[in-house]
Amino acid sequence: MAWLLRGLRQGVVTSRYPRRSDVYGRGYMAAIAVLHAPDKSSADDELAALCPTGAILADGRLRVDRGRCILCGRCVEARPDLFAFDGSPEVGRIGRRALLVPDEDEEAVEEVRAELAKRTRFLRRSIHVRHVDAGSDGSEEWEVAALTNPVYDVQRLGIFFTATPRHADLLLVTGVGTAGMAGPLRLTYEAMPFPKVVLAAGTDAISGGLLHSSYAGADGIGSVVPVDVWVPGSPPSPFSLLHGILVAVGLLAENRAVT
């Protein structure tokens, strides 16, 4: 009886995203933004040294590689005049180079974007997702699991998780891509029917995060399976994951304005 009364008091808790923006989603520290170019007195080496994963590229042009960023906030704390947290959850991008901010030339990823749109034009009404943990620290798994709770409720959008790659349209991968998981991950990808899409979820899956260039695994999963959509974050929020899935199957644009 108590749970029934609590439900009546709370009402509908399910987010209206992506039809409308969500207050919680917009307030999440989803990525790092570069506010402006530094002045001539800013040393490139000093800026690059702020990041433990090498996400700050200061070689004459200040940029942040969101695919390497673990959202530790050191750069924001040290140089709030140059860096800030970006609260938009819509950080997923088609093409690895698109994770470099300020944005790279759009023409560099337009061909990749067009190929993905052509391949997934029939994946609209019912999307089945196979999730594979390829050596994560467990944080991304909590966010993936949250997609099925009453707040996010991805089933309302026709998105369902499946236990078999034979039924999957989209392969969602978390983790750095350890050597022990390279074979199973590749077999999972090969077992999926065509057309199929691969989404790298989180900094670890994109670049290896803190474990990049180490014995623990590859620098992300891109060397194991072909990745179509990259969703940065450490971990990415459920809103970011949902946005990435919708972008992957052509239901949302990468950059859009929601109200």
More confident residue, 193 or 252: 193
Same domain, residue pair 55 and 101 = no
* 259 is a domain residue: no
What residues have CB less than 8 Å from 183, skipping those under 6 apart?
none
Same domain, residue pair 159 and 175 = yes
Q: Which residue among 47, 62, 86 closes a domain?
A: 86
**Angle in degrees, 0-180, between the axes of helices 238-248 and 139-146, rounded to the nearest 10:** 70
CATH number at residue 202: 3.40.50.12280
Q: What percent of the chain has pLDDT over 70?
A: 82
Which pair of structure tokens corresponds to residue 80?
């709030």
* 8 is a domain residue: no
Phi-psi region of 126 (alpha: psi -120 to 50; beta: other; left: phi over 0): beta
* 14 is a domain residue: no
Same domain, residue pair 126 and 107 = yes
More confident residue, 48 or 42: 48
132 within 8 A of 184, measured Cβ to Cβ: yes
Q: Please give the model's pTM, rounded to 2 decimal places.
A: 0.87
Q: Is the pLDDT of residue 171 over 90?
A: yes
Q: Report the first-to-last Cα separation within the chain, whole angstroms.
A: 37
Instruction: Check residue 259 and give its pLDDT.
Output: 39
Q: Where are the beta strands (DSSP E) in 18-175?
A: 31-34, 56-58, 62-65, 83-86, 93-94, 100-101, 127-133, 159-161, 170-174
Same domain, residue pair 78 and 99 = no
Which pair of structure tokens corresponds to residue 73?
């906030």
The helix/strand count (H/E) of the chain reads as 9, 11
Write the DSSP string, 152-182: T-GGGGTEEE-S-GGG-SEEEEES---HHHH
Same domain, residue pair 153 and 230 = yes
Write the DSSP string, 201-251: ESHHHHH-GGGTTBTTB-SSSTTTS--SEEE--SSPPHHHHHHHHHHHTTS
Lowest mean pLDDT among 105-114, 116-125, 186-195: 105-114
Instruction: Check residue 257 and give its pLDDT.
Output: 47
Instruction: Check residue 108 and give its pLDDT.
Output: 64
Domain count, the chain: 2
Same domain, residue pair 67 and 113 = no
CATH number at residue 61: 3.30.70.20
* 124 is a domain residue: yes
Half-sphere exposure of 110 (CA within 13 A, CB side): 4
Rounded to 5 degrees, φ, ψ at 243 are -60, -45
C-alpha 32: how far from its chain's center? 13
Please write the tens of the pLDDT for every residue from 197-253.
999 999 999 998 877 666 666 688 888 999 999 999 999 999 999 999 998 888 776
Phi-psi region of 95 (alpha: psi -120 to 50; beta: other; left: phi over 0): left
Mean pLDDT for all residues in the chain: 83
Please write the tens of the pLDDT for every residue from 79-103.
898 899 988 888 989 888 888 888 7
